[in-house]
Structure 1
Amino acid sequence: MTNVDTRQVQRDSLFLLARLRVEEGGTETEYQVRVRNLSAGGMMAEAPVDVVRGMAISVELRNIGWIRGTVAWRQANRFGIAFTHEIDPSVVRVPVGNTAELESPRYTRTPAAAKPTVDPSKLRRV
C-alpha cells in the first residue's frame, strides 16, 4: 500500500497503555506508550520516545502479545508504527480476565444478594 492508500484503512480510536521496545545498536530499551488508534496493519503511539522513521521496534498489546514493526512517521510525541504482520484489533479491546472473577465470593455477600442454595418450597415451616 502507498501512504495515500493506508489513510483509508479502518482504525479503532482508543486509549490504552502498551509497552514498547526500541531495538538499536544491539540493545533494547523499554518504554510505556499510549495507544491512540489501532488498525490491523499498525497503530499511533504517544510517548516522549526518541524514534526515527524506519527504526525497528516491538510493541506489546493487550491479549495479543509482542508484535514487531517499524516506525512509519513521527511528529512531536506521536509516531506511527507499521506492523510486520496484521493483527485483529478487536482482540485488543476485549477486557483482560473474566467478569466472573470480579464477582464477590458467596461468603462476603449479604444474604439478599446471595443465591439460594436450597429450594424455598422444600423448607419446613415452623
Structure 2
Amino acid sequence: MDEERDISDRGPARAAPRDSLFLLTTLCTPEGAELGKARIRNLSATGLMADCERAIAVGASVMCDLRGVGKVSGIIAWSRDDKIGMAFDEAIDPQLARKPVSGKGQQGVPDYLRTHQMQAPRR
C-alpha cells in the first residue's frame, strides 16, 4: 500500500514512459547563467534524468537545449549527489531527440565517419 502512494507522489515526470538514451547538454538558468554540463540518461515527454557536473538545488528553474527538440525549460524536481530529475514546463516529443542530426550532404561530419563511395579507377 505504501508503494502505491509513493508511486503516485512522484508527479507527472514519473507517469510518462521513459526512454533510455545518452545525450549531452548544458544546463543554465533562465537568465543564461551556466550551471554546468549534464549527461541525459533518460527522457520522457514530461522530464529527464541526468548526471551533472555539480549539484543543483530542488526547485531551481533551469533550461537546456535538447538535440532535435530545442530549448526546454523546467524545474529540478529532485537532486541526489550529481544526479537530477528535471520536470519540463511543457511536454515535448522525446522521439525527436533520437532522430539523426542531418545537414546538407555530409558537411560537419568528420572524414573518418563519412560514407565514401568507391569509384572505379580511371583508365
Give TM-score, length-normalised by structure 1. Answer: 0.72
Q: Percent identity among equivalent residues? A: 32
Q: How many positions carry a matched residue from both structures?
A: 107
- Equivalent positions of 1:1-126 (< 5 A) are 2-3=9-10, 6-23=13-30, 28-97=33-102, 101=106, 102-104=114-116, 109-111=118-120
In angstroms, what is the RMSD of aligned CA positions?
2.5
Runs of 4+ in 1 over 6 A off after TM superposition: none
CA contact (8 A) 1:54 1:70 kept: yes
1:34-77 deviations in Å (ceiling 9; x for gaps): 00000000000111223111100001100111111000000111
The runs of 5 or more residues in structure 1 that have no matched partner are 113-126
Amino acid across the alignment from 2:25 = A
Give TM-score, length-normalised by structure 2. Answer: 0.74
Q: Distance in 2 between matches of 1:27 and 1:100?
A: 33
Q: Distance in 2 between matches of 1:83 and 1:6?
A: 8
2:95 counterpart SS class: helix
Q: Distance in 1 between matches of 2:34 and 2:15?
A: 32
Which structure: larger Rg?
1
1:37 counterpart SS class: strand
Amino acid across the alignment from 1:96 = V
1:69 counterpart SS class: strand
